[in-house]
Amino acid sequence: MEAFTVENVPLIKAGDDIASIICQNADVMDNDIIIIASTIVSKAEGRMFRLEEIEASEEAARIAQKQQADPLFVQAVLDRSRDILLESPIFLVETNNGHVCIKAGIDASNVDRGFLVDLPADPDASAENIGQRIEDITGRKISVIITDTNGRAFKIGQTGVAVGLYRIHPIKDWKGEKDLFGNILQITEESIADEIAGTANLLMGEGGSGYPIVIIRGMELRSDDKASVKEMYRNSSQDIIRKGLCSLRHA
């Protein structure tokens, strides 16, 4: 496996064509996995906003007081969320598109001062648009993973995670395979999309290094059928952590 950054990526503005930036600066091959930071996808899609554009509801004011946060920011998170898992001390939500993360993934870093940037509204659709355009330009068959940096339960430290996919299934099912001693694996489902996102994030970094696009080559993971990040989430009846958080909120 080989992993490398795409060089010469400019500061992305609304309307920029990420697929052609990639094709101009990299020699794309069949089966390449192209990993793109959600921040630049959102900027290209024009998903920057200012808090001044927002009006806070009473609910936002109530939560903001609990968190010692700006009610306008809380309102921005509420507007982008369909469920709240925790209000405080961390603001954990399920976004309108089904991603569970802190503050609906709204980011203030690597965007013009005074602006915030959203996650893409439908990151699978963004990945598909970019992926199909790269395939049209190059004639190669590739996969795309759009990433964000997220924290995790229990552990210190954030990692890159997949938030949108094109032509790569996120989970590798090891159930039924044998281990070294011939035991049949019963449980293991490997989250390859998050592992790839984490690998790419090592090269991206979090600051000003300017590497929002990474290519991983040498893995045969492309799938011909439609893939979605929604395959990664447990359904709510099986999600005991979510149930625990829910009972905490209603205690």
In angstroms, the Cα distances linking 5 to 26, 205, 213, 219 are 9, 11, 6, 16
* Among positions 140, 211, 221, 233, the unique one binding ligand GDP when judged by CB under 6 A: 211
Chain positions contacting Mn ion, by CB under 5 A: 107, 148-149, 206
Q: Which residues contact 46 (CB under 8 A, 6 or more apart)?
A: 14, 15
Q: Of 137, 133, 173, which is closest to residue 41 (Cα–Cα)?
A: 133
User: Is 212 a residue that touches ligand GDP (CB under 6 A)?
Assistant: yes
Q: How far apart are CA 114 and CA 63, in angstroms?
A: 23
* Among positions 65, 188, 209, 236, the unique one binding ligand GDP when judged by CB under 6 A: 209
Residue 98 binds which of ligand GDP, Mn ion, none (CB < 5-8 A, kind-dependent): none
User: Is 208 a residue that touches ligand GDP (CB under 6 A)?
Assistant: yes
- Greatest pairwise CA separation for the chain in angstroms: 62
Q: Binders of ligand GDP among 137-166, rule CB under 6 A?
A: 148-149
**Nearest CB to Mn ion, comparing residues 33 and 117:** 117
In angstroms, the Cα distances linking 44 to 30, 76, 143, 205 are 25, 20, 19, 20
Give the residue nearest to Mn ion (CB).
149
User: Is 61 a residue that touches ligand GDP (CB under 6 A)?
Assistant: no
**Nearest CB to ligand GDP, comparing residues 15 and 176:** 15
The count of chain residues that interact with ligand GDP, using the rule CB under 6 A, is: 22
Q: Are 168 and 223 in contact (CB under 8 A)?
A: yes
User: Is 206 a residue that touches ligand GDP (CB under 6 A)?
Assistant: yes
User: Is 23 a residue that touches ligand GDP (CB under 6 A)?
Assistant: no
User: Is 179 a residue that touches ligand GDP (CB under 6 A)?
Assistant: no
Q: Is the four-CA dihedral 79, 91, 37, 216 of positive or negative sign?
A: negative
**Nearest CB to ligand GDP, comparing residues 141 and 205:** 205
Segment near ligand GDP (CB under 6 A), from 48-56, 189-197, 210-218, 227-235?
Answer: 210-218
**Nearest CB to ligand GDP, comparing residues 22 and 56:** 22
Residues near ligand GDP (CB under 6 A): 9, 11-12, 37-40, 43, 107, 109-110, 148-149, 204-212
